[in-house]
Amino acid sequence: MTPELGHFSLILASVVGLILAVFPLWGTINHNVAWQSLARPAAVMQFILVAFSFACLAASFLNNDFSVAYIAQHSNSLLPRPYQFAAVWGGHEGSLLLWILLLSGWACAVAFFSRSLPLDMVARVLGVLGCIAVGFMLFILTTSNPFNRIFPTPADGRDLNPLLQDPGLVIHPPMLYMGYVGMSVAFAFAIAALLSGRLDAAWARWSRPWTVIAWTFLTFGIGLGSWWAYYELGWGGWWFWDPVENASLLPWLVGTALIHSLMVTEKRGSFKAWTVLLAIAAFSLSLLGTFLVRSGVLTSVHAFASDPSRGIFILIFLAVVVGGSLTLFSWRAPQVTLGGQMGVVSRESFMLANSVLLVVATGAVLLGTLYPLIIDALNLGKLSVGPPYFNLVFAPLMVPLLFILVPGTVAQWREAQLKTIFNKLRYLAVAALVSANALTIYLGPWTWTTALGFFLGLWVGLSSLQHMVERVRKPGRIGGSFWGMHMAHFGLAVLVMGITGVKSYEVERDVRIGIEDVVTIAPYTFKLMGMQDVMGPNYKAQEAEVHIQKNGVYIKTLRPQKRRYFSSAMPMTEAAIDTGFMRDLYVSLGDPIPGERPEWSMRVYYKPFVPWMWAGILMMVAGGLLAALDRRYRKSTHDTQK
Amino acid sequence: MTLKNKFLIPLILFFVLVGFLAVGLKRDPHEIPSPLINKAAPAFELPTLSGDQIFSPADYKGKVWLLNVWATWCVSCREEHPVLVAFTQQYHIPVVGLSYKEIQPQETQLNQLPTDKKLQLARQRSQLFLNRLGNPYVLSVLDMDGRVGIQYGVYGVPETYVIDQQGIIRYKHVGPVTPDLIDKKLLPLLRQLEKT
């Protein structure tokens, strides 16, 4: 009964979604206030119905109702409770339901936190969100219904993919989807502004906190995915330029450009058309990411069971939504007035350079991701594009981006003097240059790439610190957006330091090891003390006991595992990591090697600066939260409008 | 380009992208072209399952036949098996099995056995599998160490090769054979090859 209730509730939600998509937007055309006022209650109702539907599916999962096909495929009675819940989004159908839950949640939040907005604007924004929601709900109901029953009912489920049985992966999809779906709010604001023809500073102010929140979730989601890949896949890598990873990076890059561009539009009234285009692009790339993951057009580690009919649906949806909004853009954008004057050297020009670099980087990543598909479509053969391409094009674009970030934060609006900027930054530049080289020589050997990486990290980091220290000394209340911006920039700096450090100094040892054998990565020695079998709730594991010594002194015991889940033949690697302030020690257990003496293959890594990367991402997230919660945005638009 | 037109650029770029995606949707990225297509099938001599003879591809010169890579430990092979059995009952195309690495490297204890014992064990396991699920093969050979598999570029089990009268590989399929594949790809190809 519960699954049927969930199904029915979802159908009702799509009807409400249809009402939300049609009447408020129509009301803005014929100036019917009653129809416009439908927007808020319809958005709330839609959320309640979708949430109920989601709860029904979750309840069926927790009740082990294997008569539901989706549950039989993705859960098992032995699966621990928290994972039974997380299994709701462990497959295609359920993760789409999560997507729609978050989308209606965002719409509901807009309905609640939009008291300061004019009614017609609310009607348009929620109407656009309603259109997107209807599209996705129809997608679920027609091609990917998670509530379908199967007969005969299997005795037990096939279990959740062991790779997904991990705390990191429980929260990774919701966070990432919050980011993806959150971009729909920025998109809805942009479309609403285009429809109304009012592309002004007020519009930019309204969309800013929503965009920043979405960006924050996206940052956190990508960070979690990377962290999960690092400790769960057992390869010691944290970014693989996999098509699906790229699909999450693309909206992030454009989203980053968008939050900066929105600021210029709000403060100076410039870049309006560009900002709107970025908002459309950020959400379009989120949709494109969905298409790439679900349709199976590209091979990826994130293999959802792909189905061409789903691919066609999303592609048509993508064409309608993005094609429609770009048509609207090409029709309305020429009427947009240009903003204030800007000098060749000014904060605006630095911001523009920032935007352009980010967009070019997006284009490069997009091209690399789709290149195999394009070449195949043109019948030019099969190929794959690997990390060397991405590293080669991405890093050189990030170097100038990081470099101009600092003058961008000190330059004045409208017109700035290069000389003034130079005078402000010369000590900072010298300090960053000297300390970066000192650090590189100390860690040795000196290479220009490492020194450059550290220089950029220190350059951005020290500058953010300087801003914060100077500001604290001055009187007056400091806004959340100030702290947020410098926190996020500082986090970026820490991330850059981390990436530079790990790329330059990581050491990997791939060995065969027997009991009492030793692997040395100076000054650490890893000794295999023993091997034992461990039973988990739904798996059996072989666990190694590895003692780590530093300069001959015992510091830590690591217990990497090789797990065999009962439900699948695929063995899983559970790496063990010792995290310090400056480095990770990482041990991953491989297969036993046949021979007279028991031996195993084992990978041991010394990974300096890895904790810095995670810390940097967390700081960026904290910065995003601080900026989004700035009190300024909560004031009524009437008293702040000039 | 006029000011008005430049705002159309994103739309145009987008529809070019959609065009590629639409074409890409019809392609299978998992389909990997084999460099062995239209090349002579690598020669080998391997013991058959029944144990009384040695098989070599040269024995089938003049026939169109299929080489199917399988193993008892392979889950997809179980899915494929009934399809193959039905296929051989309906059409008289010889299918030769290549039992690939029947004893897996991670079966530590079994690997310590002497070679002839391992071969015997592999025979027993494979025969049991075929007795239980039906035998689609005219004969099946044992590639214990996977060397022949390497020569054929075996990518994942199961795999199926179509080999023509001259001993040339005409088609390769990675993954289980499906009724759909038989109807749309294999049968037309086999008919065409048999005509020549």
For A50-88, the pLDDT digits (tens) are 999 999 999 999 999 999 999 998 888 888 888 999 999
Between B8, B21, B31, which is nearest A330 by CB?
B8
> Which one of B21, B31, B108 has the shortest CB-CB distance to A594?
B108
Q: Report the percent of chain B where pLDDT is more than 90.
A: 11
**DSSP, residue by residue, A507-563:** EEEEEEEETT-EEEETTEEEEEEEEEEEE-SSEEEEEEEEEEEETTEEEEEE--EEE
pTM: 0.83
Domain ranges of chain B: 36-195
Q: CB-CB: which of B21, B106, B108 is closest to A297?
A: B21
With CA atoms as reference, report the closest residue to A501 among A413, A572, A580, A431.
Answer: A580
Distances (CA, A) of A598 to A63, A137, A531, A561: 44, 55, 10, 16
In the block, residue with structure tokens 């549950």: A71
Per-residue pLDDT tens over the stretch B130-139: 998 889 998 8
So what's the pLDDT on residue A547?
93
Q: Left, alpha or beta for A96 (phi > 0: left; psi -120 to 50: alpha)?
A: alpha
Q: Say which DSSP state A633 is in.
A: G
Query: What's the mean pLDDT in B15-20?
Result: 88
Kindly compute the dihedral angle of the four CA atoms of residues A593, A598, A601, A607, in this order, to the nearest 10 degrees: 180
Q: What is the amino acid identity at position A303?
A: A
What's the confidence (pLDDT) of residue A129?
Answer: 96
B1 in contact with A at a CB cutoff of 8 Å? Answer: no
What class is the B36-195 domain? alpha beta
Backbone angles phi, psi at B153, to 5 degrees: 65, 45
Q: Is A542 left (phi over 0), alpha (psi -120 to 50) or beta?
A: beta
CA distance B66 to B60: 10
| Number of CB atoms found within 10 A of residue B89's CB | 10
- Per-residue pLDDT reduced to its tens digit, A20-52: 999 999 999 999 999 999 999 999 999 999 999
Reported as a single tens digit per residue, the pLDDT across A260-315 is 999 999 888 888 889 999 999 999 999 888 777 776 666 655 555 456 677 788 88
Q: Pinpoint the alpha helices (H) of A39-118.
A: 39-62, 69-74, 81-86, 92-112
Closest CA to B147 of B98, B95, B107: B98
Residue with token string 């450059």: A452
- With beta carbons less than 8 A apart as the criterion, state whether B66 and B94 touch: yes
* pLDDT tens string A524-559: 999 999 889 998 888 888 899 999 999 889 998 999
Using a CB-CB cut-off of 8 Å, the residues of chain A touching B18 are 315, 318-319, 323
Name which of A357-366, A394-403, B23-32 the model is least confident about: B23-32
How far is A121 from chain B, CA to nearest CA, in Å? 24
In angstroms, the Cα distances linking A141 to A12, A43, A137, A310, B55 are 11, 19, 6, 11, 54
- DSSP states of A139-182 as a string? HHHHH--TT-B-SSPPSS-----GGG-SHHHHHHHHHHHHHHHH
Nearest residue on chain A to B104, alpha-carbon basis:
A594
pLDDT digits (tens, 9 = 90+) for A482-527: 999 999 999 999 999 999 999 999 998 888 888 888 998 878 999 9
pLDDT value at residue A200 = 83
Structure confidence by residue, pLDDT tens digits, A423-456: 889 999 999 999 999 999 998 788 999 999 999 9
Domain boundaries, chain A: 1-160, 175-409, 507-612
Confidence class of residue A401 from pLDDT cuts 50, 70 and 90? Answer: very high
Closest CA–CA distance from residue A561 to any residue of chain B (Å): 16
Question: Which residue is associated with the tokens 């609310």?
Answer: A122
> Which chain A positions have a beta carbon within 8 Å of B73's beta carbon?
569
* Residue A366 neighbours by CB under 8 Å, 6+ apart: A246, A250, A285
Distance from C-alpha of A95 to C-alpha of A310, rounded to nearest angstrom: 14
User: ipTM of the assembly?
Assistant: 0.81
State the DSSP H helix or E strand holding residue B97, giving kind and residue range, or none if neither. strand B95-100
The per-residue pLDDT of chain A, averaged, comes to 89
- Fold exhibited by the domain A1-160: Four Helix Bundle (Hemerythrin (Met), subunit A) (1.20.120)
Residue A323: its chain B contacts at CB < 8 A?
11, 14-15, 18
Tell me what pLDDT residue A536 has: 84
The CA distances from residue A420 to A346, A400, A416, A460, A462, in Å, are 11, 20, 8, 18, 19
Average pLDDT over residues A566-586: 84
Please indicate whether, in this complex, the C-beta atoms of B29 and A373 are within 8 angstroms of each other. yes
Place B1 in a pLDDT band, splitting at 50, 70 and 90. very low
The predicted structure's pLDDT at residue A261: 94
A570 membership: H or E segment, kind and range: none
| Residue A624 Cα distances to A185, A224, A281, A339, A492, angstroms | 16, 16, 20, 27, 12
Mean pLDDT score, A232-254: 87
Could you report how far apart the first and last alpha carbons of chain A are, in Å? 57
Angle at which helix A2-29 crosses helix A119-143, to 10 degrees, equals: 140
For A602-639, the pLDDT digits (tens) are 999 999 999 999 999 999 999 999 998 887 776 644 44
Across residues A331-349, what is the average pLDDT? 81
Q: Each residue of A156-207: pLDDT tens digit?
A: 888 887 777 888 778 888 899 999 999 999 999 999 999 988 888 888 988 9
Gap between the Cα atoms of A313 and A206, Å rounded: 32
Q: Which amino acid is at A210?
A: W
Nearest by Cα to B146 from B98, B96, B101: B101
Q: Are A314 and A139 in contact (CB under 8 A)?
A: yes
Which of B3, B6, B14, B74 to mutate to test binding with chain A, by most A CBs within 10 Å of its CB? B14
Beta-carbon contacts of B59 under 8 Å, excluding residues fewer than 6 positions away, are none
Substitution target from A158, A254, A312, A376 for chain B, most B beta carbons within 10 A:
A376
Q: How many CB atoms lie within 10 A of CB B20?
A: 18
**Residue A376 is nearest to which of B27, B75, B106, comparing CB atoms?**
B27
Q: Which residues pair with A507 in a beta bridge?
A: A606
For the segment B55-68, what is each residue's pLDDT rounded down to a tens digit?
A: 888 888 888 999 99
Length of chain B: 196
Percentage of chain A with pLDDT > 90?
A: 53
User: What per-residue confidence (pLDDT) applies to A639?
Assistant: 42
Q: Residues A131, A39: contact at Cβ < 8 Å?
A: no
- A308 at the B interface (CB within 8 A)? yes
Inter-residue contact A79 to A538 (CB < 8 Å): yes
* Interatomic CA distance for residues A218 and A224, integer angstroms: 10
Helix orientation angle between A39-62 and A119-143, rounded to the nearest 10 degrees: 30
Whose CA is closest to A488, among A626, A342, A285, A305? A626
C-alpha A487: how far from its chain's center?
18
Rounded Cα distance, A452 and A297, in Å: 38
A126 alpha carbon, distance to own chain's centre: 24
